[in-house]
Structure 1
Amino acid sequence: MNQQKPSPGLSRARGPSVADTLAADRVAPPGPLLEESYAFLGDADIPCSRYTSRQFADREFDRLWSKCWQWACREEHLQEVGDNYVYDIGPYSVIVVRTATQRIEAFLNSCTHRGTRLLGGEGCGYSRAFSCPFHGWSWSLDGQLRDLPGRWDFPHVDDTSHNLRQVQCERWGGFVFINLDPEARPLGEYLEVLPEHFRHFPLDRRRIRTHVQKVLPANWKAAQEAFMEAYHNFATHDAPNGANTQYDLFGKYVSRFIHNIGSYSAESLHDYPGDKWRAPPLSENQMLQMLSVFGLAHDEVPPGESARSIAAEDLRARLGEAWGVDLSDVSDSLMLDSIEYHLFPNMFFFCGITVPMVYRF
């Protein structure tokens, strides 16, 4: 049986699109979620060496990680003056420290005498000052050389030239970013649409609930690419809404996907194997049962309603009461959907309420 070959970059899943689903929601989404910014960038294979070559990894450390903005920690890690966070990326190590009530700065985690590492492994700490464990040189929190033993033997040392090497440091959304390139453009430019889009769902109002860290036997790009698509949804998550997802590109550094949860169309599964969820199609009550993992008040869908709208309404009521906030105007999409913004090279921000994760690879 002959089948028409899909058109590169133009083919779409059958059934309602993400935009169709959002348009039908009871509580409409904020403007940024209605924007569409798709571009086809090609479908040529990427050489496996990009994931396995030590030479290519070295090029990344030289040309990428040393020059791009990357989040080091959250502001919650640095609540008091002297609180610090060591951020390691490959051969580079940076100390991020609160130097004053309203000021956070970053420095290379390296003694300016012989290059000894000043603070230990990655994570939180507290210091009144920084001291080298090798020869005892010390610096104030703002990186100024404070003391060195046997100063009489260092007439050639100019204190200002031996301050800790400062690293660019800026904040957005409660995250603290660093950039090892002194010539890098400001973070605000690098973030492109993120500040405007996240004005509708501000990340600086959120706090760390759980931190999970895993070491994976894979290249960082291969690991994160699994979270840049929803094609795996049917097989991996055993979910009935297939791979129908909206993908957007905003500028050079920001991309996004919106994957509806609680929506369903048997038509969108027309070319999936077997008849699961397609013959017969799922009812709205069956869809609601699948969403019961969210802890819903309803176990049946009232006439004229959808499982998606009932689930969103139940979540607004339950979470609003639990958190002591009014969620009545929060859209169905923000309550349910997997909405993921990716900031190059390795940062993921989810703006939804029920899926409020952030990833860094």
Structure 2
Amino acid sequence: MNVKIKVNQGDARCPNAPSTQEIISADRVPAPDWVRSESYQFMGSEDISTDRYTDPAFAKKELNTLWKKTWQFACREEHIPEVGDYYVYDLEHYSFIVTRVAENDIRAYYNACLHRGTKLRASGTEGCASEFRCPFHGWSWNIDGTNKKITCEWDFPHVNKDEFKLPEAKVETLGGFVFINMDDNAPTLAEYIGPEAMGHITKWKLEDRYITAHVSKVIPANWKLTIEAFMEAYHVIETHPQVAPSNGDANSQYDTYGDHVDRFISTLGVVSPHLAGRVSEQDILDQFTVGDSSVLAGADRKLKDGETARQRMADMMRGMFEQATNSDLSNVSDSEILDCFSYTLFPNTFLFPGISLPMVYRFRPVKGDHRKCLYEVFFLRPVPKDGERPEPACVVHLEDHQSFTEAEGMDPGFGAILDQDTENLLLEQEGIEASAKKGLTLGNYQEIRVRHFEQVIEKYVNG
């Protein structure tokens, strides 16, 4: 018999289960205040119109409003470590050459010749240049954006070379990431993120990591549906049942910070509330230590009397990371070592800055097709202690039929999870278009990041 549990509107926790903060408070190595904080507010319970996922006119409005006014992760600084290095970042029909002009000077030029508009660098390219030269008629620009050459200059007396500089987008860096914004009047990146969330992100010291793997795949769903698939742990019990024995899915914590950042914390080493009473502490530990693709395969699996799986996992993972990085992590909290932290930087970047799951997701609409999205996964690892930063891994592009498990640098177990996530998306896109119901109904707490995200989109698109 199913018992209906009464939850007050907007209650920020799963009833009859420990909250994320209660789980973290029992850890041996305590978490810092910014981990122990909460920032949830009820944002309404109205349906989200499905038109925004299916209407090409809405996609066009997004392109002309939202994408032109927001800060977007274009590349990592290690993509352009030396003066003259460049990286081409594309968004739908927009294209930018992100280049290092001096040690502390990074610029993003609109990727178009000022003569007749030819792209100066092809999409998806990177390299090192002393100039940006048009392949059509040979006009060229120095890496500082000033005009270098006008072919047959005598025929252009109406062009002032000193004023014919490459137009620029705004550029800022944070944690080793290079962000761009097309809006000349945009707030600073720090203002855009806000002081509280900025304090969280800087604590992770992401500038001390580098890209060890980079995987991309076109997903047959609108970019918003794709990004929203990763905003909640509500889907875990159905989509990823194999991880439920050791994942606090339904009691994950969700936080929002202003318009442009949200967070969730999903605790590991604890049983899903859906399976409470049916899984032992030993079962939880076995989930992580049995099998060739498990996180801690081959480790000692026998718990001592009174020992929790969460504490054993935190201790083992701390030891593993200390050995891998030759560093002392004794003062790093169990939560930072073990749990899944996810930050959304509006509109299209996910940071998973934790030590156990250091990743970045990026989502971009596919040019000319609002029903498709380019989804990218970057894996980050600490720079070696000798300070010699390795070159970032080259991107691996997966074809439609390929599994994430086939990508170089991808853990097979995690690749299988990404397959599960993305296989839902075609069905969701097609189901929304076939549905007689023209709205998505969201949970008040577990799907608050989706609601928050869509409300901010509304602000940009419709003012």
* CA positional deviation for 1:300: 1.3
* Letter of the structure 2 residue corresponding to residue 208 of structure 1: I
Q: Which residue matches 1:263?
A: 270
Residues 204-252 of structure 1: per-residue CA shift (max 9 Å, x gap): 1111011011100110000010110000111222113442111001111
* Letter of the structure 2 residue corresponding to residue 327 of structure 1: L
CA distance in 1, matches of 2:146, 2:321: 47
* CA positional deviation for 1:133: 1.4
TM-score by length of structure 2 reads 0.73
* CA positional deviation for 1:73: 0.2
**Aligned equivalent of 1:85, options 80, 84, 87:** 87
**Aligned equivalent of 1:283, options 276, 280, 283:** 280
Q: Which residue matches 1:274?
A: none
Residues 131-160 of structure 1: per-residue CA shift (max 9 Å, x gap): 111211100001000111111111110113
**Aligned equivalent of 1:65, options 64, 67, 78:** 67
* Letter of the structure 2 residue corresponding to residue 46 of structure 1: I
Instruction: Pick 1 or 2: higher relative contact order, CA cutoff 8 A, min separation 6.
Output: 2
Q: Say whether residues 1:230 and 2:233 are aligned partners.
A: yes
CA distance in 2, matches of 1:137, 1:216: 38
Correspondence list, 1:47-126, <5 A = 47-126=49-128
Q: Which residue matches 2:11?
A: 10
Relative to structure 2, which stretch is displaced further, 322-331 or 296-305? 296-305
Residues 36-75 of structure 1: per-residue CA shift (max 9 Å, x gap): 0101111211111101111000000100111111010000
What is the root-mean-square deviation in Å for CA atoms of aligned residues? 1.6
Q: Which residue matches 1:247?
A: 254
CA distance in 1, matches of 2:266, 2:353: 12
Q: Which residue matches 1:201?
A: 204
Distance verdict in 2 for CA 1:249–1:121, change over 3 Å: same
CA distance in 1, matches of 2:124, 2:323: 37
Distance verdict in 2 for CA 1:4–1:286, change over 3 Å: closer
8 Å CA contact 1:173, 1:203 repeated in 2: yes
* Letter of the structure 1 residue corresponding to residue 226 of structure 2: A
| Runs of 4+ deviating beyond 6 Å | none
* CA positional deviation for 1:166: 1.4
CA distance in 1, matches of 2:37, 2:61: 35
Distance verdict in 2 for CA 1:152–1:8, change over 3 Å: same
CA distance in 2, matches of 1:147, 1:179: 28
* CA positional deviation for 1:5: 5.7
* CA positional deviation for 1:125: 2.0
8 Å CA contact 2:255, 2:264 repeated in 1: yes
Q: Which residue matches 1:273?
A: none
8 Å CA contact 1:334, 1:351 repeated in 2: no
Q: Which residue matches 2:217?
A: 214
* CA positional deviation for 1:6: 4.3
CA distance in 2, matches of 1:4, 1:172: 44
Q: Secondary structure at the match of 1:195?
A: helix
Residues 273-297 of structure 1: per-residue CA shift (max 9 Å, x gap): xxxx44x532211111112122163
**Aligned equivalent of 2:138, options 136, 139, 144:** 136
Residues 53-101 of structure 1: per-residue CA shift (max 9 Å, x gap): 1100000010011111101000010011111010001121011001112
Distance verdict in 2 for CA 1:304–1:3, change over 3 Å: closer
8 Å CA contact 2:118, 2:134 repeated in 1: yes
Task: Select the structure of larger CA radius of gyration.
Answer: 1
* CA positional deviation for 1:122: 2.0
8 Å CA contact 1:298, 1:314 repeated in 2: no
Q: Say whether residues 1:351 and 2:353 are aligned partners.
A: yes
CA distance in 1, matches of 2:224, 2:320: 37
* Letter of the structure 2 residue corresponding to residue 244 of structure 1: N
Q: Secondary structure at the match of 1:198?
A: helix
Q: Secondary structure at the match of 2:70?
A: coil
8 Å CA contact 2:249, 2:266 repeated in 1: no
* CA positional deviation for 1:350: 1.1
Aligned residue pair count: 351
Residues 334-358 of structure 1: per-residue CA shift (max 9 Å, x gap): 1211110111111111121111111
Please list every run of 5 or more consecutive structure 2 residues that lacks an aligned counterpart in the other structure.
Answer: 364-463
CA distance in 1, matches of 2:181, 2:13: 39
* CA positional deviation for 1:162: 1.4
Q: Which residue matches 1:147?
A: 149
CA distance in 2, matches of 1:247, 1:112: 47
CA distance in 2, matches of 1:11, 1:283: 26
Relative to structure 2, which stretch is displaced further, 296-305 or 251-260? 296-305
CA distance in 1, matches of 2:119, 2:6: 57
Relative to structure 2, which stretch is displaced further, 48-57 or 330-339? 330-339
**Aligned equivalent of 2:176, options 156, 168, 174:** 174
* CA positional deviation for 1:188: 1.3
Q: Which residue matches 1:298?
A: 300
CA distance in 2, matches of 1:245, 1:258: 6
